[in-house]
Amino acid sequence: MVVTSLFHILCRRWYIVAFGLVIGLASLGAIRSAEPVYWTKAEVSFIAPDRKPAYWIPGDDYSSLVDFAAMVERRVNYNSRSVDLSLSSGTLYGAGIRQGYSVNLLNSGGQWAKSFRWPVLSVQVVDSSALKVQAVLNEVVDSINSATRELQEEVGVTQDLITTLTSPASPEVVFGGGTQINRLKGAVTWIGLSIALSTIAAVVTDGMLAKNSRARTVRRRRPAHVPG
């Protein structure tokens, strides 16, 4: 009975349901047409000349390399369009950035107690296409390598140089907006919400109009007052 009544209401107020669906579809189109976000991350490690790039030995002192990595970070970021992240463990797209890059000395601590123990620069890039992300990443890594050479040349070091190692060698570029399945689920959820809200609006409107109609009917049937 309830289903039948609801069906009749939706038929009577079809224009409200149609209007709600049009608004929902229009909003969905705007969401789906929004510019996509692609993201990648790489780490550039600094290797001392007397070591192999086999990564760090626990307990060793890398403070001098950390200081050198910090100098490279400042030179690369100086007068550039890089984004300053308060936490190097955060993501650019998570911070609301849709186009740009960041170069941060790897922070093994937290936001309130930063710890720079490793000579590693964390590089992130976010942009509207995978090709753009890859191109910017290559430029940033090249800038880091150039700064590494320049800083050593400026103090007269020509051999036994500090070198860099980028890991991974070919960073994966991921879609920051989620998978296609998640986007489909989001679209279905949005359409379902639009239908539900349109149905509620139709039921509420139908009830208000029916109440007004009954009130007018009662007023017409009420006998006129005859003075005595």
Looking at the fold, whether 103 and 160 belong to one and the same domain comes out as: yes
Angle, helices 130-154/63-77, rounded to nearest 10 degrees: 120
- φ and ψ at residue 190, rounded to 5 degrees: -65, -45
Whether 156 and 192 map to the same domain: the answer is no
Task: Please tell me whether residues 43 and 132 are part of one structural domain.
Answer: yes
Q: Does residue 12 contact residue 152 with C-beta atoms inside 8 Å?
A: no
The DSSP call for residue 80 is: S
* pLDDT, tens only, 120-178: 999 999 998 899 999 999 999 999 999 999 999 998 887 888 899 999 988 988 886 54
Greater model confidence, 82 or 10: 82
For residue 50, the enclosing domain spans: 38-175
Q: Rounded CA gap, 31 and 191, in Å?
A: 12
My answer on whether 117 and 197 are in the same domain is: no
The reported pLDDT for the residue numbered 54 is: 44
CA–CA separation, 24 vs 16, rounded Å? 12
Using CA atoms, how far residue 183 sits from 24, 92, 158, 186, 190, in Å, is 16, 20, 53, 5, 10
For 177, the enclosing helix (H) or strand (E) is none
The whole-angstrom separation of Cα 213 and Cα 218 is: 9
Whether residue 221 lies inside any domain: the answer is: no
Q: What percent of the chain has pLDDT over 70?
A: 69
Average confidence (pLDDT) over 106-133: 81
Is 132 a member of any domain? Answer: yes
Please check whether residues 103 and 156 belong to one and the same domain: yes
Within this chain, do residues 125 and 56 fall inside the same structural domain, yes or no? yes
SS (H, E, C) 138-169: HHHHHHHHHHHHHHHHHCCCCCCCCEEEEECC
| Same domain for 13 and 74 | no
What digits encode the pLDDT tens for the residues 1-53?
466 777 667 787 777 777 777 776 776 655 554 567 899 999 999 988 876 54
Question: Do both 167 and 198 map to the same domain?
Answer: no
Do 134 and 85 fall within a single domain? yes
pLDDT at 218 over 80: no
Average pLDDT on 217-224 reads 61
User: Which CATH number belongs to the domain containing residue 116 in this structure?
Assistant: 3.30.70.1130
Number of domains the chain is built from:
2
Q: Which residue has the higher pLDDT, 208 or 85?
A: 208
Q: Quick one: tokens of 118?
A: 């490793």
Pair 83, 68 in one domain: yes
Are residue 79 and residue 170 in the same domain, yes or no? Answer: yes
* 79 and 165 within one domain: yes
